[in-house]
Amino acid sequence: MSGMKRNLVLALAVAAAVAAPGAFATNGYFSHGYGLTAKGMGGAATAMTKDTFGGANNPASMVWVGNRMDVGIDLFSPIRSASRTGSTMGINGSADSDSEQFLIPEFGYNRMLDSKTSFGVTVYGNGGMNTDYPGGQIAAGTCSGLGFTSDTGATNILCGTGKLGVDLMQLVIAPTWSYKFSNTQSVGVSPLLGYQRFKAEGLHGFAGFSSDSTKLTNNGYDSATGFGVRIGWMGKMSDAVTLGAAYSSEISMSKFDKYKGLFAEQGDFDLPSNYNLGMAIKASPETTVAIDYQRINYTDVKSVSNPSTNGGATMANTLGGADGRGFGWGDVDVWKIGVEHQYSKNLVLRAGYDRTDNPITSRDVTFNIIAPAVVQDHYTFGFTNLMDKNSELTMAFSHVPEKKVSGPSLYATWLGAAGGGNEEIKMHQNSLGIAWAKKW
């Protein structure tokens, strides 16, 4: 078997192995960075050419990378909690999400076809969300007495039976073609093959809202597939300045049939379009500063962006319909800055910062108890150690301080302000990852 065939077989085997990454939420439910090199620099990667994650960052970068393979894993730890206070109707309570550790794999492969053309593949978790709250916060009979569920025992904080939570995972496989059309500029394209998996538990309290309460909650995992495309450009404007730009279309997904009574448009949950612009500046022979701007268009997806108040005081058929209630997320602007310093011949040090808009407002806190993606600031550190001339080890760490959002409960629509009370969601998180790369 030739070297190229062996590498391709290995690439496909690793791609299969990472087909079920964990759930995470940083910039909304997108990651703050793709590839551990980028994660160590606050996610800034649009104008960088360090690894094989161009399919997620900028397809035009791959032709500058050479023959290379990256395999890594990130241990992600989000800490989430939710509470309701001040209700005169007995629906106060608080809960912490039990799921706190997730392993997120990553994989990339690139092969030079000639001096100007490359073909590779990036396999990455586009985004995700997981919550797992225990039940029993609200006394038996309280929610049924208020007309929200037919409970026979103590309910969870959203008036449902048993534990409460969701598990959303989004995987993208991005075959990537990149072409150098001059000595300083390149373009690239990545068809995006999307796969996502979802389940919801403990949402029985919203049965009266659903257009199909049998397709609302506790139906196990459902999956969806779809297609999109990412295109990119990179230009080395001088020895000191490189620019990059990339755009990803919306990935149109098949519907979650098991949850068509939950998500707007009968179970539709596409991946939103997004674009990023970047600049890398060689401040000195040893130091590079990278700056990225990213826009994530969550309003492309009605199930994500529709306000939870759609329908007003009406309950019936306000979940799952063409304009059903959603999580109320707005589009977000993300700024990323990273610094890379060649400390020695074999050691590169990195640090970065990522600042994102919060997509959740106080209007929609109730629905976002199961998706509390409220964090904004990301502080990152990392390094790469050259093991030999053809292999290297990269590590990255990120810390995201706690962020809170509070607001009046959606239940106040029917119970009045005092009856509904006030709700608060909060989250903080850390991650630590390691990756190995092979060049030839």
Q: What is the pLDDT of residues 87-122, one digit of tens each?
A: 999 999 999 999 888 888 999 999 999 999 999 999
How far is it, in rounded angstroms, from Cα 88 to Cα 420? 8
Return the pLDDT at 24: 58
* pLDDT, average across residues 389-414: 97
Integer angstrom CA distances of residue 372 from 25, 27, 136, 266, 320: 9, 11, 20, 23, 21
* pLDDT, average across residues 5-30: 57
Q: What predicted TM-score, i.e. pTM, was given to this entire model?
A: 0.93
Do residues 360 and 328 lie in contact, with contact meaning Cβ atoms separated by under 8 Å?
yes
Q: What is the pLDDT of residues 197-228, one digit of tens each?
A: 999 999 999 999 999 999 999 999 999 999 99
Return the pLDDT at 19: 45
The two tokens of residue 178 are 């990149």
**Range in 11-15, 61-65, 227-231 with the lowest mean pLDDT:** 11-15
The two tokens of residue 221 are 């995992």
Return the pLDDT at 353: 98
* pLDDT, average across residues 244-251: 98
pLDDT over threshold 70, residue 149? yes
pLDDT over threshold 90, residue 128? no
Q: What pLDDT band is residue 12 in, cutting at 50, 70 and 90?
A: very low
Return the pLDDT at 243: 98
Return the pLDDT at 219: 98
Q: The domain containing residue 269 runs over which residues?
A: 3-439
Q: What is the CATH number of the domain that holds 389?
A: 2.40.160.60
Q: How many CB atoms lie within 10 A of CB 170?
A: 25
Bridge-based pairing of strands 252-253 and 422-439 is: unpaired
Return the pLDDT at 126: 85
How far is it, in rounded angstroms, from Cα 188 to Cα 178? 4
* pLDDT, average across residues 395-410: 97
* Domain count within the chain: 1
* pLDDT, average across residues 165-189: 96
The two tokens of residue 75 are 């241990």
Return the pLDDT at 151: 78
Return the pLDDT at 23: 52
Q: What is the pLDDT of residues 251-306, one digit of tens each?
A: 999 999 999 999 999 999 999 999 999 999 999 999 999 999 999 999 999 999 99
Q: If you average pLDDT over every residue of the chain, what do you get?
A: 93
Q: What pLDDT band is residue 229 in, cutting at 50, 70 and 90?
A: very high
Q: How many CB atoms lie within 10 A of CB 191?
A: 15
Torsion of CA 309, 310, 316, 322, to 10 degrees: -150
Do residues 276 and 294 lie in contact, with contact meaning Cβ atoms separated by under 8 Å?
yes
Radius of gyration of the chain (CA): 23
Q: How many CB atoms lie within 10 A of CB 70?
A: 26
Task: Please state, for a pLDDT cut of 90, what percent of the chain lies above it.
Answer: 89
